[in-house]
Structure 1
């Protein structure tokens, strides 16, 4: 992950020290490089900053903030565009010239070609801030599902934005007033749903949305939503659905293995991370995976993760944590989280990420499988049993027949 931040001032010049403080609050997001760009004018002033975790194009050419040839468009970007090579070929045929091999530069030229409709062509996880100096417009965009965060606050003197709330709070215009409605939502849902945050003055840009800020005015637009359509499930065979799902998962994992640094895996021993690991093992050699265990046997599932790793020929790394380490982590949560979150999985996930970060910059995980395949108990009642059964059967068939040349533990096969 990288960290992006910046602000527009309608009245005063950009204060470099304010921008520096905002960036310092995000230093954990980008240890490889950092840079800032400031443009002061009588009409309005803008400052952009970037903390870089180098994944694609590790050279100085990939440094951000990044501009087009005549420096009329500037961007700071966090994430990864999986189809950037295909988009680059299309743009080169139309005469666009590139100075780097990064996916970031593709967004700049795609914006030149299509404006805000560039979002419809991007396939990946992303959050970015793009400044168009010709139209004096700030363009904030976020990926369809919201994997990458971006927060903003509109003030009388401009707009402030950043990957995390803690960076916005470094700006002197921020008012640290608790939003009681957001607190009520937190107590109901155990998190604060977008577009709200726990602070009245700060908002989340919602997934599948973009924001335009021009001449002191904000407009928000939705460019994508989950398609809710009733596809008949009887027009194709179960085997056809299974094969299509296998192909989708295979391509999704292959796309996410593209990087100029090694890519590892989080393997828990469950079905989701096991499936990702199996597809990754097909696509790449010499993979490494990371697992944590606990000294309390009733909570420790590391043995299942080891079975998956050994069966797929993946090098495992396992670390056993103790209760005292978990308690110490609780004390650090206010530094890690910007707003309350009642999800206990943050503890093992943080420890696992910390453990893996000593060897890897990028890892793939099985997060999101429960939501995609309707295994969340609170949501199952909203979906017809027939449709749920088909999805479950497709996954089971992939496990049983899709990896006959690779061992998958019996525990994972029996989860459906």
Structure 2
């Protein structure tokens, strides 16, 4: 796992631009704390920061390779190719020779053999750039589900790219400007495909690649969901899911560094943990390391709500004991969450769900002290249908995304003129309509099933990328590689056309997953309701946010003042502590405080 950055320019000699490339690459040191490198040529220049995971000695980047007397191509790569061994064998059969054991070299030779078509052969999470001097072009590629990030900024003479926005913003020609559309994306906690919040900067869409040459930049799709019939009955489907999960987890355990799992005690992380334990036991390896998280005071202050009906740790302990893992419980202080907010902002380069992101960041920071790679249960709810909006008719048929609850949360406190300019409700409604329209339909499907299919599509293409972005940024900020087995594209493709009735037998949420791993887990975990990621419920957390907001409003130079109704925010500060729901007053305060810090820290210009 790594960080990548680069620059293609048809008008400058980039061999003279080392300081700029080094500045861009330096911003990515947390993603790749183990090593770094810069490669320069007249038209293209690459930077790389490395987190050593596979072939620690041999996988040095940027990496070059050529074939058949042509000039060597160059790659800078972030991610993991889980089928690199099979691809290596196939390429050797085609005459390719390898100097290392790394998946990076396999990726580069895959490009040499198949060009852009190599993307369809890769199983993994990845973002990469290949400079081809023979074609005088740059290939940017991103994995199918968007696990690994990649941004690019086309300009008149070429393109800039980077794993994170900060790498692009470190270049002199990049500008930290945000228009109304970018601001509404922030306030709605939304992530539209291709949108990067900053003006003119694009996120390469999942399942796409971009080809850049003198004629310009073209972004093309190489993978997408396709609707069709499902060939298997329910028992065969359950068996197929189990076999796929076993293969996926087995592949994702491959590493030359310590590997663990993030264990909340929920169905998804428990299934990954049990499958990983079984795989390691077959190989006669040491006990699997597992990690769970909680906050000081949560036991005393816990308040059950719909999205968090119970605490995690009792179930995490139950699973750890059941599988025999080497389990660590991480207890975080409320003050740590507040202090982590600035680090969280610098990790994402844009504001977000600060308390959730801070909890993730603190968890990953502690895990990194013991493991370099961790497997998580992210993605299961999106492919098996684990959210309540799959079952709630009102949410299922609403003309908006069910997770876009922050829109209403901001309406009372945002400046009325700004609200009218942004029109958040209309923006989200338009995004929702576009999403539903582009979902691949299945001829002859019943209207209710067609609507469920659309909801799955929205979850996979709008909600999941945001969650994966959170995980990537918070984990890579501390140099931890988090792998997501449920995002394997083979599993996603198979479940996309699996009937909803198979996924919710007798109304049981994620019944297909529960049945597929029924022999691996305690009954209490198999029957457990979904519980969202833990956040601090200690009154001191929100009290601190309120104190910080009062100080922000008292600062006549605060960048927040032009954006909000000051009195409405003051009224919010006088409301009751601890109001719970999909969107809390603490969430509003936290995001507003992040926006103020963001504008100051990044010198944001709001247009």
Give TM-score, length-normalised by structure 1. Answer: 0.92
Q: Give the superposition deviation at 1:194.
A: 2.4
1:398 aligns with 2:516: yes
Which residue of 225, 228, 251 corresponds with 1:255?
Answer: 251
Query: Secondary structure of 1:140's match?
Result: strand
Corresponding residue number in structure 1 for 2:220: 221
State which of 330, 333, 340 in structure 2 corresponds to 1:322: 333
Q: Structure 2 stretches of 5 or more lacking a match?
A: 304-310, 397-450, 454-499, 531-607
Tell me the residue number matched to 2:444: none
Separation in structure 2 between the aligned mates of residue 89 and residue 369 of structure 1, nearest angstrom: 32
1:368 aligns with one of 366, 379, 398: 379
What is the count of residue pairs matched by the alignment? 403
RMSD: 1.9
- Which residues of 2 match residues 148-187 of structure 1 at below 5 A? 148-187=148-187
Does residue 322 of structure 2 align to residue 311 of structure 1? Answer: yes
2:452 is matched with 383
CA deviation map 1:148-186 (0-9, x unaligned) = 000000112321000000110010010221131122233
Q: Which protein has the bigger strand share?
A: 1
- What's the CA shift string for 1:124-161, capped at 9, x where partnerless? 10000000011110000000001000000011232100
SS at match of 1:62: coil
Deviation at 1:93, TM superposition (A): 0.8
When normalised by structure 2's length, the TM-score is 0.64
2:448 is matched with none
Aligned residue in 2 for 1:132: 132
In 2, the alpha carbon distance for the partners of 1:237 and 1:343 equals 44
Report what 1:26 is aligned to.
Answer: 28
Larger relative contact order (CA 8 Å, sep ≥ 6)? 2
**Structure number with larger C-alpha Rg:** 2
Q: Displacement of 1:187 after TM fit?
A: 3.0
The answer as to whether partners of 1:183 and 1:192 remain within 8 angstroms in 2 is no
CA contact (8 A) 2:514 2:526 kept: no
Structure 1, unaligned runs of 5 or more: none
Q: Tell me the SS of whatever aligns to 1:28.
A: coil
1:24 positional shift: 1.0
Partner residue, 2:233: 237
Q: Which has the higher helix share?
A: 2
Q: Distance in 2 between matches of 1:31 and 1:71?
A: 31
* Cα distance, 1:62 vs structure 2: 1.1
Change (3 A) 1:358 1:71: farther
Name 2:197's counterpart in structure 1. 198
2:154 pairs with 1:145: no
Write the distance in 2 (CA, Å) between the matches of 1:414 and 1:176. 45
Residue 135 of structure 1 aligns to a residue whose secondary structure is coil
Q: How does 1:283-298 map to 2 (within 5 A)?
A: 283-284=279-280, 285=285, 286-295=287-296, 296-297=298-299, 298=302
The answer to whether the Cα contact below 8 Å between 2:502 and 2:512 also exists between their aligned partners in 1 is: no
SS in 1 for 2:351: coil
SS at match of 1:367: coil
Residue pair 2:62, 2:75 contacting (<8 A) in 1 also: yes
- Taking the aligned partners of 2:279 and 2:503, their CA distance within structure 1 comes to 29
